[in-house]
Amino acid sequence: MEALLLAAGLGTRLRPLTNDRPKALVELNGHTLLEYAIQNLTRQGITHIVVNVHHFASKMIDYLSSNSWDIPISISNEEDLLLDTGGGLKKAATLFSGTEPILIHNVDILSHIQFSEMLEFHRQSHSIATLAVSERTTSRQLLFDEHQQLVGWYNNASETYLWTEAQKKQESYRQLAFSGIAIIEPKLTQLLPESDHPYPIIPEYLKIASRHKIGCYI
């Protein structure tokens, strides 16, 4: 399995720590978040990592090139235009083999998820995407039906719903919080709009879920 580390964001919620560096290079106990993520992915058998960059892109490129890593690392450069999570995935897709599942992982997430177990669950469910979720309080929730199929998204603050094209609002669904970790099949990237403009991934997941299985790993 290959992996995309989403590391291009502006890190606004970590200011002032990100006033002079990208959030991926913020340190915890003397190690950057990027180092934690790469080591975790490597330890769990990931064969190739793509890192997307934008905010302080040159610092990210210098950091990645000046360190020795145990597996190949490629850079998807969004220095000219920050593409958000959806556009970022579409742009990075050309750097993958196209034959292996892709683990998508936010760089500022620290997790103990066993990716081999999540991958096996993903394969057995025959999903085009599997989203790692948990039962916790958050302002935004993913909504799943009784078959663990993605049907919607809800923003508690604005009381806004987004639904799949085939789904009408219903009373019976489960609200779960997205962890920022997902496994997708390579063919999902072919269903995304072109990366000539920024767009988030969640609305695209909802469009795709009208025709394909997008499940959850709790």
Q: pLDDT tens digits for the chain (218 residues)?
A: 999 999 998 878 888 877 888 999 999 999 999 999 999 999 999 999 999 999 989 999 999 998 889 999 999 999 999 999 999 999 999 999 999 999 999 999 999 999 999 999 999 999 999 999 999 988 899 999 989 999 999 998 888 889 997 665 556 789 999 999 999 999 999 999 999 999 999 999 999 999 999 999 99
Place of tokens 């103990």: 112
- The confidence score (pLDDT) of residue 10 equals 83
Report the C-alpha dihedral over residues 51, 90, 108, 68, rounded to 10 degrees.
-10
Beta carbons within 8 Å of 19's beta carbon, 6+ residues apart: none
Count other C-beta atoms under 10 Å from residue 124's C-beta. Answer: 8
Closest CA to 8 of 68, 50, 36, 67: 50
Distance in angstroms (rounded) separating the CA atoms of residues 110 and 173 = 28
Report the C-alpha dihedral over residues 124, 144, 7, 52, rounded to 10 degrees.
60
